[in-house]
Copies of this chain bind each other. A is one copy, B any other.
């Protein structure tokens, strides 16, 4: 079931890019939580389009209306549903190309899966726009986790060939989380940010797009979350992260680089710091045997370049069964990496909260 997720916190998403509305029904939230609506709105804005030259010019306020599960400014514990109306729609753009499979998009696979009945306008239900409700749910998860001192953060570690240092090399704390959250273009190193932005604008000017790597950190996760085998923390996180459109890879801790180490290098040696158990390195990204060991959870996500580009591309007409060419005109992000940052944080927060609630309600 593509639209349902979770064990204790259950999400059920709905909507299409150019339909009347998108939204989410969230079941299993603890009752009595006074939502920090300003915090949630800020998270939504971090993802919203139209705010920047680095992003699409489609402007969407992404105003949400809570239609259930919220009473006297607190969660009731029963399903909390929000609806976000679609306002700035140019559907006619899509009528002309409805039979042309845009390369890199789900037009072809969606048509197959739904026997041609899917809403093809703007990708329909496959649109990255459907991640807005996930950011909403994730913002609530972040708020709940924060009360337990568990913080979620991330930075753009790379765009194209330009990359910066990893979270593995620095001490993660509350200040970094706050600093990164307030950056329009969240990197650790400002000069790198400048170079990455330059690269994005260059791609834009060439009617092209670029991809990148986002690194996510979970600070102060409780030790003991997760399980061996099918409910390993890596299994749960990766299942969720690959739900986000555009993700093509995930690696934990040292990730693919661990394959080049010896066991004597890759093993994270334990030590007691007072009564706390720590490891000298964090090549396993805070997870051993599928279970958190208390060190920060660190993972990196590969985001592909925006599929929509105005350049001429070869493709097919699915109706006439001919090989044709296409230029995907319209309002596109030259990269989805920037807007994906809050989405990945939200997705991560939801997984961690779900794992936490399995152990401690």
Cβ contacts under 8 Å, A71 to chain B = 16, 19, 117-119, 124
Interface: A250 (CB within 8 A): yes
In the bound assembly, the distance between CA atoms of A214 and B232 in angstroms comes to: 20
Interface: A135 (CB within 8 A): no
Interface: A141 (CB within 8 A): no
Please name the residue on chain B nearest to A9 by beta carbon: B1
Q: A27-B12, A251-B302, A291-B110 are in contact. Are A275 and B321 (CB under 8 A)?
A: yes
A266: contacting residue among B65, B270, B304, B316, CB under 8 A: B304
In the bound assembly, the distance between CA atoms of A267 and B314 in angstroms comes to: 10
Residues A291-333 near B (CB distance < 8 A): 291-293, 300, 302-309, 311, 313-316, 321-323
Q: A31-B115, A323-B271 are in contact. Are A259 and B2 (CB under 8 A)?
A: no
Interface string of A132-174 (1 = CB under 8 A from B): 0000000000000000000000000011110000000000000
B119 A78 Cβ-Cβ under 8 A: yes
A359: contacting residue among B213, B230, B314, B361, CB under 8 A: B361
Which of A42-50, A176-184, A187-195, A277-285 is near enough to bind chain B?
A: A277-285
A109 B289 Cβ-Cβ under 8 A: yes
B32 A117 Cβ-Cβ under 8 A: yes
In the bound assembly, the distance between CA atoms of A174 and B112 in angstroms comes to: 26
Cβ contacts under 8 Å, A217 to chain B = none
B77 A118 Cβ-Cβ under 8 A: yes
A105 B272 Cβ-Cβ under 8 A: no
Whole-angstrom distance between the Cβ of A16 and the nearest chain B Cβ: 6
A271 B316 Cβ-Cβ under 8 A: yes
B25 A256 Cβ-Cβ under 8 A: no
Interface: A113 (CB within 8 A): yes
Residues A1-27 near B (CB distance < 8 A): 1-6, 8, 10-16, 19-23, 25, 27
Q: Which 5 A-B pairs have the closest CB atoms?
A: A106-B289, A249-B251, A2-B227, A209-B263, A12-B12
Q: List 28 A-B contacts (CB under 8 A).
A: A2-B229, A14-B80, A16-B76, A108-B277, A109-B223, A109-B292, A112-B224, A125-B228, A203-B263, A235-B238, A238-B250, A248-B251, A249-B255, A251-B302, A256-B302, A259-B302, A259-B304, A261-B305, A263-B309, A263-B311, A264-B311, A266-B305, A270-B314, A271-B314, A272-B322, A277-B316, A280-B314, A284-B304
